[in-house]
Structure formats: C-alpha cells, structure tokens
Amino acid sequence: MALHWLVQGCQPGDSLLFHYSGHGSRQRNYNGDEVDGYDETLCPLDFETQGMIVDDEINAAIVRPIPHGVKLHAIIDACHSGTVLDLPFLCRMDRSGRYVWEDHRPRSGVWKGTSGGEVFSFSGCDDDQTSADTSALSKITSTGAMTFCFIQAIERGQAGTYGSILNSMRSTLRSTGSGSSIGGSGVTSLLGGGGSGGGVTSLLGMLLTGGSDTGGLRQEPQLTACEPFDVYTKPFSL
C-alpha cells in the first residue's frame, strides 16, 4: 500500500524518494526473466508469514507507473539488493571508475522501464553480496554501511554526478577496516537478538555473510537505471 501511495497522483516536476534499510534476500526465478536466475526480494517484518516482496512486484508498483517529467530515486540498503527494482540497466563499474551499462531487460520482452519518467536506484551491494551493519564507519554506533556512505558522500561534496557519488561510496567501503561487527544487514535481529549481539550471534553473522568481517567490507554499492546515461556528466539531484 505504501509503495502504491508513493507514486499515486504524481505530476510532472515531482521528485520521489524511496528509502529502505533492512533485510533483503533472493529466491529462484522460474520464468527466465533474470540474468542470474534469481529474483531479488525485500523482507518486511512479517515476511515469514506473509512472504517477501519480490522485485517484479516492486517494479510494477513504483517503476512502471512513473510518467514523463517525474523522477524517482531509490536508496536500498539491504542484502542482495543490486537489481531489486528490476530496472533494465545496471552500471557495471570497476575499481578505477570505468564502467559499462549491462542490459538486464528480460528475454521474455516484458517491459521493466517507466511510463516516460526517470528512475535511479542506489543499492548497498551486488545481487550475490550482503550488506553490512557496522560501527567501523561512525566509530560510535552500528549503522547501515551503504546508508552512511551515501550521506557522507553528499556531506563531503562528492555527489555532483551519479558517477562521483558511486565512486565515493565504493572507495569509502573499500578503505573501511575489519574491526567491525558485521551482521549482514541485521542478521543478529533475525537470530533473535535485538541489541549489540554476543559472540554467538557474531559468529553466526559471519557464517551467514561468508565471514565478511575478515578483511574489510566486501560489498560493492550498485547503480541501476531505466535508461543508460553518462554517469560522470549527469548531475545528481534529489
């Protein structure tokens, strides 16, 4: 209902924002529409009884209805979130900042773009990676690593273009040390712990995230869009 509310009645000139920070997952795709064979998902509080929110549903709710003149940005800090909006194009960028646009349009021909508007999604990691909660960035309290780096890039004046903000986020995460408590986007709460987590939850978190706190944060924030563009010349603006 909230997703539908966001886009309902939008008019040319509107700028919409969808921010999700929480659990993400993925499940096997059976209709052949996914390049990697998996649908990406968001896991709301009641997902164990009501199911996960699948990327096809998110795309239908907040991507395809966007009309000409309307802009939507999604900030998704969750595991397996690279293509969670099912947008047609992914900016595949290497460590030097060079990039190519990968075509993720379904082979079935199903339309995953907009109704004329613009949609951009910054996500915490690639589809096969996990997103961390860590205290290594703020030095004070545990935060979503991707959300922290996104805000920091803006505050430091490194968000002039889509390319500069993506590079800033990635370089900050690469340089972050390993002295952090990583929970794979909140694994400890899934395991029943609501606080800082003890030795058991930390160990389980490492197992569930592939031991990702043994050498820094290995997640790589991703940018997807409804159409390819030059990420180093297009100004970033919410």
Catalytic residues: 23, 79
Rounded CA-CA distance 186/13 in Å is 36
Helices 162-175 and 145-155 cross at an angle (nearest 10°) of 120
User: 71-77 and 15-21: which strand pairing?
Assistant: parallel
CA count, 13 A, side-chain hemisphere, 122: 29
Nearest by Cα to 168 from 176, 72, 142, 86: 176
Q: Are 122 and 223 in contact (CB under 8 A)?
A: yes
Q: Are 81 and 223 in contact (CB under 8 A)?
A: no
Structure tokens of 90?
A: 């992914």
Instruction: Say which residues have a Cβ less than 8 Å from residue 175's Cβ, sequence separation at least 6.
Output: 216
